[in-house]
Homo-oligomer: A and B are copies of this chain.
Amino acid sequence: MNYFSSDFKLGILGGGQLGKMLLTETRKFDIQTVVLDPSAEAPSRFGCNAFYKGSLIDYDTVYQLGKMVDLLTIEIENVNLEALEKLEEEGLPVYPSPQTLRLIQNKGKQKDFYVKHNIPTSKHQRFVGLDDLHQALNKDELDFPFVWKSAQGGYDGNGVQICRSAMDLVNLPDVECLAEDMVPFKNELAVIVARSTSGEIKTYPVVEMEFHPEANQVEYVICPARIDETVAKKAREIALKVSEAFNHVGLLAVEMFQTENDEILVNEVAPRPHNSGHYSIEASYTSQFENHIRAILDLPLGNTDSKVAGIMVNLVGEEGYSGQVVYENIEKIMAIDGVTPHIYGKRETRPFRKMGHVTIVNEDMTEARRVAEEVKNSIKVISI
């Protein structure tokens, strides 16, 4: 198949920042792209060959987009799966597969899948709704504390609640859910796996999410994770196993806990380029975005090793500011060696909105970590 400067068309469902960074790679290879996103202001409206505004969860819209292209991928999971299944049935390659997306979209089914495939994960119980969960508590089949999760639709901490007593159940919505054991862990880790249609598979190095000591918020994604070599090796092996189990094609970001006993437990996965891999644009021989393109087109995978240490800091809207965005002190951080801001292209800031990220690279991890803190403390996403 000839993808380069040819008639081949790649469809991308979703036009956010992940799509935008994918487009950088499709332009580099001159691969034609067609993008669908509900917002006319989507960051991916530039850099594609054709952009369509439309719903990602509407059957007809997604189906029609699929009929325009030679291969379909996603940059967001919440898309109409029936349309993808129909398209696949009609012979269109869809990566990741709608079957995988369906499995992953339901966190209960996702956890069952890990258990079935002998992939280490925290213990869980599934419930059809709140009544079901209360009954389990009453029958002592479930004990406090546990982590409540909505089976569908949660992201970035939404749809998750730590339950230490009945008090914590009061405001939970009555939806399909699961309860997971609370596992004391010392690190949150992630491994991105790239797997091509013909089964070539590679992992990126393990990254570490460093949290703010008070606000329970990821502050830095650090590559490589500052953990033992043996633990890192185990994490990469488990991530490979997860990707193989899903028979996944494209990128799979595997989020994991490193427990107090150095066990690795899989938390959840994202079947696409992931925030935890943004550092790879500057730090890796091949960025996660390029490897996603290579994987779904069955091109050879690129080297996932790092040239230098990399740390990523998310740029989110400051509390108390809404409207036309201003990146305060961006010139100040750009004066530091190895600092690269990525501005996603959203005109309007809102509290906690993901507006961009900054990558810090350095030959020396300690220096990179020092600079990352300087960056974090300098730049502010505010409004005019």
CB distance from A194 to the nearest CB of B (A): 13
A299-B334, A338-B303 in contact; A27/B47 too (CB < 8 A)?
yes
Beyond A46-B47, A342-B28, whether A347 also contacts B5 by CB under 8 A is: yes
Taking CB atoms, residues of chain B closer than 8 Å to A345 are 5, 27, 30
Give every chain B residue within 8 A of A341 (Cβ-Cβ): 4, 28-29
- 18 interchain pairs, CB-CB under 8 A: A5-B327, A5-B345, A5-B346, A24-B24, A24-B27, A27-B47, A28-B341, A30-B343, A30-B345, A46-B49, A285-B337, A286-B340, A299-B331, A300-B334, A302-B334, A302-B337, A307-B307, A307-B308
Interfacial chain B residues near A303, Cβ < 8 Å: 337-338
A325 at the interface (CB under 8 A from B): yes
Q: Once the chains are docked, how many angstroms separate the CA of A330 from the CA of B2?
A: 10
CA distance A77 to B179 in the complex (A): 65
A326 in contact (CB, < 8 A): yes
Among residues of B, the one whose C-beta sits closest to the C-beta of A341 is: B29
In the complex, what distance in Å separates the CA atom of A286 from the CA atom of B308? 13
Q: What's the tally of chain A residues with a CB closer than 8 Å to chain B?
A: 47
| A149 in contact (CB, < 8 A) | no
Whether A269 is near chain B, meaning CB under 8 Å from some CB there, is no
Of A5, A300, A302, A334, most B-chain CB atoms within 10 Å: A5
Q: Output the nearest chain B residue to A24 by Cβ-Cβ distance.
A: B24
Q: Is A195 an interface residue (CB 8 A)?
A: no
A185 within 8 A of B: no
Partner of A344, one of B30, B307, B346: B30
A361 contact set on B, CB distance < 8 A: 285, 307
Interface, chain A (partner B; CB < 8 A): 2, 4-6, 20, 24, 27-30, 43, 46-49, 285-286, 290, 294, 299-300, 302-303, 305, 307-308, 324-327, 330-331, 334-335, 337-347, 361, 363
Minimal Cβ-Cβ distance residue in B for A31:
B343
CB-based contact A343/B302 at 8 Å = no
CA distance A77 to B340 in the complex (A): 29
**A29-B337 contact, Cβ under 8 Å, with A327-B4, A331-B300, A361-B285:** no
